[in-house]
Amino acid sequence: MIVLHPADGDDLSPPSPEDPASVSALASTLARQRGALADALADRISERSTPGTQRRAAARGLLSLGEGSRAYTLLLDHHSSCLASDLRVLRSAPVDDAQGMGVYTADVSHAVCSCLARAADDASFAFADEPSRCSAVLTWAHTHVAAWCNRLVCDGGPMGPEAIAHELAACARIVLGHAALLEEHGVRVTPLLARLLRARMTKAVEEELQKGIPTPELLTASDAYLLSGSSAALAALADVLVRVAPLRQQPVVALTSMRGQVTPLSKQQSTKSTSRFPGF
């Protein structure tokens, strides 16, 4: 709870209407108190230890003081800082085998999507009456999703050029699973992910088809994906590749559930998951 006390010399007693000096002094005092309250609310937003409900209330308070732009900037700066800090911890994760690829992909995906979900929840509460700011938060989220995807498909990433089709498909399932959870918070990113992963998945499919006689199931899923490029077609193709692609090594692919347990992704439904991100 934020409590402000009058500074020494501040007189908050009602001024006399016939005394312009008293009216001016009261106005000056109120302006100082208003500024102090705004600064206290801003500090509460920026502190990482502030509970989510208090952060949203502080942002709402800043908005009521006419400082919506400040509240918006502080909220996004806070979540960007938290995400950067979480990802720094994950940079040293091993990705030199199939198990490491699956675990790293799940950890990075969870860090990104849970952060974006919290930001979306904060924005929907604080700026419920300002659709333009909520839309701006979605644009901000898409920027981080693009960076997340690029992180996974870059050289040395778990979905990079060296990943074989089975590993790539397994990681794609993890990414799409987390994206589906994020969409429950109003941030629709699966079409963007499908577009960003298209080149890598197309190459993997071509390589897989050249290895031998493909199964009818793989041909059907490949044709559907190459023609539409949709997120649903990508999810279906990833499911097929995981089942039929030659295995170099059986990977451990997992998603973290809301209770902190690890659940095999094969038991998850990427587009119909009922899980929630922990910590909300």
The average pLDDT across 257-274 equals 33
Q: What is the pLDDT of residues 177-214, one digit of tens each?
A: 999 999 989 999 999 999 999 888 888 888 888 877 77
Q: Which amino acid is at 44?
A: R
Q: Find the helix packing angle between 131-153 and 98-126, rounded to 10°.
A: 170
- Give the containing element (helix H, strand E) for 254: strand 254-256
Q: In terms of pLDDT, which residue wins out, 54 or 91?
A: 54
Q: In terms of pLDDT, which residue wins out, 264 or 72?
A: 72
Q: Are 74 and 59 in contact (CB under 8 A)?
A: yes
C-alpha gyration radius of the chain: 25
Q: What is the pLDDT of residues 58-111, one digit of tens each?
A: 999 999 998 989 999 999 999 999 999 988 888 655 556 666 778 888 899 999
**pLDDT class of 153 with cuts at 50, 70, 90:** confident
Q: Is the pLDDT of residue 21 over 90?
A: no
The average pLDDT across 203-228 equals 85
Q: Are 273 and 124 in contact (CB under 8 A)?
A: no
Task: Count the neighbouring beta carbons within 10 Å of the beta carbon of residue 14.
Answer: 9
Question: Which tokens belong to 9?
Answer: 């010399």
Q: Is the pLDDT of residue 248 over 50?
A: no
